[in-house]
Amino acid sequence: MDLSHIVLLVAAGLAAGMVNAIAGGGSLITFPSLIAVGLPSVDANVSNSVAVFPGYVSSVAGSRADLAGQGRRLRAIVPTSLAGAVLGCLLLLGTPARAFEVVVPFLVLGAAAILFFQDRLKGLVGHAHGEKRAALHAVVFVGAIYGGYFGAALGVMYVAALALVLDETLNRINALKNVLSACVGLVTVVVFAIFAPVHWGAVLAIAPATIVGGYAGAHVARRLPARVLKALIVTFGTVVGLILMWRAFR
């Protein structure tokens, strides 16, 4: 990587950290940025998964108050999350790179669509009555598989899905989502660090920037209209997805 690549990745990390703090979907910035500096799609994906992990950990620390009283629930679903993440990682590493290149445009477009409908999906909070344990484990497991395989907008997906099966406030669901995302992130760090082509230079450029960006984003969130930023990210993600689709099927 040259200096321009490092600057681009640091900027992407800062932006992604801010976006995750405000609206979610920051990987829609870092993933294509890694591709832009020349990494193949699978290498970019695994490097991105490792790079964003510190941001997940900091989000858990910031939401500890809303985790109060959820210890038993977490002890039940964290193993499910870890198992799903392992399966997702194995799917990524065990399938041809061509398969990932074909699937990933649809995942990016799907993540952008879910981010676009985020508010409507969050509106489902309160429609759940009681805790559906089997459904909760299913949601956690499927989300973790997705997170281990790709992971962009995993947090948005988790918030929307958990709202369907838990009778909790949005803040408590968001805190739960942070823990689950961190669990998935931990698995991807361990598995990809050992078995995958992680570009550690890119990780070192992005990871600290996501922490700084996340801290700044928490303050910017009070001033910047989330709707405006979300519209920009959805547009960006849609364009990236269409470009990746063109590259995959040309």
Q: How far apart are CA 242 and CA 236, in angstroms?
A: 10
What pLDDT, in 10s, does the model give residues 196-232? 999 999 999 999 998 888 777 666 655 656 677 677 7
The residue among 125 and 71 whose pLDDT is bigger is 71
pLDDT of residue 125: 52
pLDDT of residue 47: 95
- 187, two tokens: 């698995």
Lowest mean pLDDT among 10-14, 82-86, 152-156: 152-156
Beta carbons of 187 and 148 less than 8 angstroms apart = yes
Highest mean pLDDT among 1-5, 61-65, 117-121, 228-232: 1-5
Cβ burial of 100 (10 Å; 0-12, 13-18, 19+) is buried
Lowest mean pLDDT among 36-50, 54-68, 179-193: 54-68
Q: How far apart are CA 38 and CA 43, in angstroms?
A: 10
Segment 162-186 mean pLDDT: 85
**What are the extents of the domains in the chain?**
3-249
The predicted model scores a pTM of 0.82
- 189, two tokens: 């760090």
Using CA atoms, how far residue 154 sits from 49, 162, 176, 180, in Å, is 11, 12, 13, 10
- 51, two tokens: 């790079």
Location of structure tokens 């065990």: 94
What pLDDT, in 10s, does the model give residues 94-122? 998 888 888 888 888 887 787 788 677 66
pLDDT at 126 over 60: no
pLDDT band for position 127 (cuts 50, 70, 90): low
pLDDT of residue 250: 80
What proportion of the chain, given as a percentage, has pLDDT over 70? 88
Tell which residue, 81, 52, 108, 43, has the closest CA to residue 177. Answer: 81
The residue among 114 and 2 whose pLDDT is bigger is 2
**How far from chain centre, in Å, is Cα 140?**
14
pLDDT of residue 30: 93
pLDDT at 77 over 90: yes
Segment 185-198 mean pLDDT: 94
